[in-house]
C-alpha cells in the first residue's frame, strides 16, 4: 500500500462534502457506509459512493479512494461492496475484524466483486477496534496480501474505547500497549502503520501533538475526520528539508567511504556504517513515495 499520511473520512450520504474532501489535499478519502449513515439512507448512499469513485478517480487520479462497508455481521457488507467495487476504487476499510478468518471472508467477497467489475488489486485498511482483534493482530496482519494497512486506534469515544474500557487522555498513555502491539504486528507483516483518531475538530494544536506522538511511536499516517486536519497531519508526517538533506549527505558520505574500501566513516559527529546507510536508503525511498501522493510534499 502507498504510504498514506492522511485518510479523510466522509459520510457516504453527505454528497455535498465530497468535493471538499477531494480538494482537502488528503492522500486518500474513505467513504463511510457504516456508522455515519442512517439505516434508511444506506441503499442510496451506496449509489452515491459508486458515482463518486467513478468521478473522483478521473479528476484526482493520485488520491486513494476507499469505502468503509458495514461489518460482516450485519449482512450488509455484500450489498455495500457490490455497489462500491468499480474501476477507480483503491480498497476497502474493513471493520470489525476479529480474526484471520474474517479477513478471508472479506477476500471471498472481493474476489467475486472484483471479477464482476473487471478490477483487481484492491487492498484493505484494517482498523483493530475489538479486544479479539488486538489479541489476534499478528495473524490478521499476515492473513492476506490484500491487507495493506492496519490501524492502532486511540479514539476517545469510538469502538476501541468501549471495547478496551480505557479512559482517554490527550497524552494517550492508556492506549500505548495495544497501539504498540498493533504497530509491531503491522511492521512484522510489512504493512503500512496508521493510527486514529483525534476527535476534537477545532483543537488543531492538540491534533499536532497527537500526530507527533504517533509518528514518534512509528506510525506513518493517520485517519482524520475533517478537512482542516489534513494539512496538519500531512505536515507532521512529511520529512522536513533539513532531514532530507541530512540523510542524503549521510548516504553519499558512506558510499564514498565504501568505494575507498572503508566499512565505516564519520559523518559530522556521527559514526556511520552500513546499517546507517541502509536506513538512509529506506528513508529516502519513502520521501520519493510521498512525493507521488495526492497531498504531495
Q: Per residue in 58-113, pLDDT tens?
A: 999 999 999 999 999 999 999 999 999 999 999 999 999 999 999 999 999 999 99
State the architecture of 6-236 in CATH terms.
Alpha-Beta Barrel (3.20)
Secondary structure (DSSP) of 47-107:
HHHHHHHHHHHHH-TTSEEEEEPPPGGGT-HHHHHHHH-STT--EEE-----SHHHHHHHH
Angle at 248 (CA atoms; ends 242, 249), nearest 5 degrees: 90
Please state whether beta strands 265-267 and 270-272 pair in parallel, antiparallel, or not at all (unpaired). Answer: antiparallel
Whether residue 95 contacts residue 129, with contact meaning beta carbons closer than 8 Å, is answered with yes
Whether residue 5 contacts residue 233, with contact meaning beta carbons closer than 8 Å, is answered with yes
What number of CA atoms fall less than 13 Å from residue 132's CA on the CB side? Answer: 8
156 has a pLDDT exceeding 90: no
Which part of the chain has CATH 3.20.20.60? 6-236
pLDDT in tens, 214-258: 999 999 999 999 999 999 999 999 999 999 999 999 999 999 999
| Confidence at 44, pLDDT banded by 50, 70, 90 | very high
Q: In whole angstroms, give the CA distance from residue 20 to residue 18.
A: 5
Angle at 35 (CA atoms; ends 30, 41), nearest 5 degrees: 90
Rounded to the nearest integer, the mean pLDDT of the chain is 95
Cis omega (within 30 of 0) on the bond before 197? yes
Q: In whole angstroms, give the CA distance from residue 138 to residue 128.
A: 11
- Burial level of 149, CB count in 10 A (0-12/13-18/19+)? buried
277 has a pLDDT exceeding 90: yes
Distances (CA, A) of 199 to 15, 19, 49, 50, 214: 22, 22, 24, 27, 15
Amino acid at each position: 500500500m502507498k504510504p498514506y499520511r492522511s485518510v479523510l473520512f466522509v459520510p457516504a450520504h453527505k454528497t455535498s462534502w465530497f468535493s471538499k474532501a477531494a480538494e482537502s489535499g488528503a492522500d486518500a478519502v474513505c467513504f463511510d457506509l457504516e456508522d455515519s449513515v442512517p439505516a434508511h439512507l444506506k441503499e442510496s448512499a451506496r449509489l452515491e459512493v459508486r458515482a463518486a469513485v467513478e468521478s473522483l478517480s478521473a479528476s484526482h487520479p493520485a488520491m486513494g479512494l476507499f469505502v468503509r462497508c458495514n461489518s460482516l455481521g450485519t449482512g450488509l457488507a455484500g450489498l455495500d461492496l457490490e455497489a462500491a467495487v468499480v474501476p477507480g476504487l483503491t480498497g476497502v476499510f474493513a471493520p470489525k475484524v476479529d480474526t484471520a478468518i474474517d479477513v478471508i471472508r472479506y477476500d471471498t467477497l472481493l474476489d467475486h466483486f472484483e471479477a464482476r467489475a473487471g478490477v483487481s488489486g484492491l487492498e484493505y485498511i484494517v482498523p483493530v477496534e475489538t479486544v479479539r482483534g488486538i489479541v489476534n493482530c499478528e495473524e490478521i496482519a499476515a492473513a492476506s496480501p490484500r491487507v495493506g494497512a492496519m490501524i492502532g486506534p486511540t479514539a476517545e469515544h469510538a469502538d476501541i474505547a468501549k471495547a478496551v474500557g480505557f479512559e482517554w487522555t490527550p497524552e494517550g498513555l492508556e492506549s500505548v500497549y495495544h497501539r504498540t502491539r498493533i504497530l509491531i504486528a503491522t511492521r512484522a507483516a510489512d504493512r503500512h502503520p496508521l493510527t486514529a483518531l483525534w476527535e476534537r475538530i477545532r483543537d488543531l494544536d492538540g491534533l499536532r501533538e497527537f500526530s507527533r506522538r504517533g509518528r514518534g511511536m512509528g506510525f506513518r499516517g493517520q485517519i482524520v475526520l475533517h478537512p482542516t486536519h489534513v494539512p496538519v497531519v500531512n505536515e507532521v508526517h512529511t520529512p522536513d528539508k533539513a532531514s532530507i538533506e541530512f540523510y542524503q549527505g549521510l548516504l553519499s558520505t558512506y558510499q564514498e567511504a565504501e568505494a575507498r574500501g572503508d566499512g565505516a566513516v564519520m559523518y559530522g559527529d556521527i559514526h556511520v556504517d552500513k546499517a546507517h546507510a541502509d536506513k538512509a536508503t529506506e528513508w529516502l525511498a519513502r520521501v520519493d513515495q510521498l512525493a507521488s501522493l495526492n497531498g504531495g510534499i
